[in-house]
Amino acid sequence: MEKQKEETYTDRNIDNNKKYPMLVTNSSNGTDLTYGFVSCGVAVLFYGSNFVPVKKIPTGDGLFFQWVLCAAVWSVSLVVNIILGSPTFWPLAMLGGAIWATGNITVVPIVKTIGLGLGLLIWASFNLLIGWASSRFGWFGIDAEEVSNPTLNYCGAGCCLLSAVIFFFVKSDVHSQSSRPEEEEPLLIDGCVNADGGTSSDDSWVDTLRPRTKRLVGSLLAVAAGLLYGTSFVPVLYIKNHAAHHDSHFTGASQFDLDYVFAQFSGIFLTSTVYFLIYCAAMKNTPRVYPRAILPGFVSGVMWGIATCCWFLANTYLSAVVSFPIITTVSINTTAWCCVNTAAVLY
């Protein structure tokens, strides 16, 4: 029986190699490194700019916005799934999507409390640290990954930890809608549309907090978001690591990370839908819907979906312990650059 399973696992890997010729590479010629670094480049480009389309768009409490964004994310995975020929759907991968979606509902409150730039600096740092540590030391039941130069690897992680601590002392300049000067107020009110046909402003519960409380809440939410983002890849890595175990439920699972995109993104959309329905029930079926946030939110979701697909590819060719520091660190710099240039254009 074990011999039969081993042959099945080998046959599936051969089929994967035929299906995805990019996987059949000679490590000595650097082809896999080329694919990996190109994937990292595309990922950081879209991660660093995916929130720019919605930076000046009213989003209210963020629940409607995150649902639109997650719908766009799932649309990207549907296209990828069709291109790949509908690979095996592993429900466990949906858990990673649920974890990510839980972290994603904190984005709008974070932006409203400490700003997009500082918020992303904090959550990206903790995203890097937890993602790197779980892959490097084999947390959560996945196999520990080795690196060619552990000293440099540890130094990079240490610098990230130091940066994360420093970020907590960075001052951010965030103004609520009600605190804007009179000359900056819009001539026409562009609020949200409720079920009863009325409108309301972009204010949310975070706008009622005191400045110090707002900063504390925003920082804690950013840390929580980073920890959740950093563990969102764990279910996929767990499935891949246990594919070679003959007594595992995941025996013969694909080693190509992109095969798990549809399952993980389905978890994202399903979880965000559940949160949005709970929100609608809590609001007594009068959710705060912002029409202006629909198209920018969808564009933002498509950009994030493409970036994450490229991250999956980078995990395949470079391994997670290498791709996490590269993508998260460079994304921080890209986002800072985009925010500064966007502010320069708008103001």
**pLDDT (tens digit per residue) in 261-274:** 999 999 999 999 99
Task: Kindly report the backbone phi and psi dihedral angles of residue 57, in degrees, each rounded to the nearest multiple of 5, phi listed first.
Answer: -100, 130
Q: Are 192 and 289 in contact (CB under 8 A)?
A: yes
**pLDDT (tens digit per residue) in 114-127:** 887 788 788 888 88
Smallest Cα–Cα separation from 162: which of 197, 196, 121, 195?
Answer: 121
DSSP 93-120: HHHHHHHHHHHHTTHHHHHHHH-HHHHH
Place of tokens 């095969």: 259
Mean pLDDT of 51-77: 86
Contacts of 206 (CB under 8 A, 6+ apart): 109, 112, 113, 214, 217, 218
Euclidean distance between CA atoms 174 and 7, whole angstroms: 60
Q: What pLDDT does residue 133 have?
A: 82
Q: What is the domain partition of the chain in residue ranges?
A: 25-172+190-346
CA-based R_g, the chain, Å: 21
**pLDDT (tens digit per residue) in 26-53:** 444 478 888 889 999 999 888 878 877 8
DSSP state of 26: -
Euclidean distance between CA atoms 218 and 110, whole angstroms: 5
- Look at residue 14 and tell me whether its pLDDT is greater than 90: no
- For the chain, the first-to-last Cα distance in angstroms comes to 69
Q: Which amino acid is at 88?
A: T
Euclidean distance between CA atoms 164 and 123, whole angstroms: 9
The torsion angle over the Cα atoms of residues 22, 128, 43 and 225, rounded to 10 degrees, is 130
Helix, strand or coil for residue 289? strand
Euclidean distance between CA atoms 244 and 318, whole angstroms: 20
- Look at residue 23 and tell me whether its pLDDT is greater than 60: no
Euclidean distance between CA atoms 219 and 118, whole angstroms: 9
**pLDDT (tens digit per residue) in 184-241:** 444 333 455 554 444 445 566 666 778 788 888 888 999 999 999 989 989 998 998 8
Smallest Cα–Cα separation from 110: which of 268, 229, 270?
Answer: 229
Q: Are 127 and 308 in contact (CB under 8 A)?
A: no
DSSP state of 193: E
Q: Are 63 and 275 in contact (CB under 8 A)?
A: yes
- Look at residue 12 and tell me whether its pLDDT is greater than 50: no
User: Regarding predicted confidence, which is higher, 170 or 288?
Assistant: 288
User: Regarding predicted confidence, which is higher, 199 or 95?
Assistant: 95
For residues 33-47, one letter each, b for 16 or more C-beta atoms within 10 angstroms of the residue's C-beta and e for the rest, the string is eebbbebbebbbbbb
Euclidean distance between CA atoms 212 and 295, whole angstroms: 34
Q: Round the average pLDDT of the chain to a whole number and report it.
A: 77
Q: Grade residue 342 by pLDDT with cuts at 50, 70 and 90.
A: very low
User: Regarding predicted confidence, which is higher, 185 or 133?
Assistant: 133
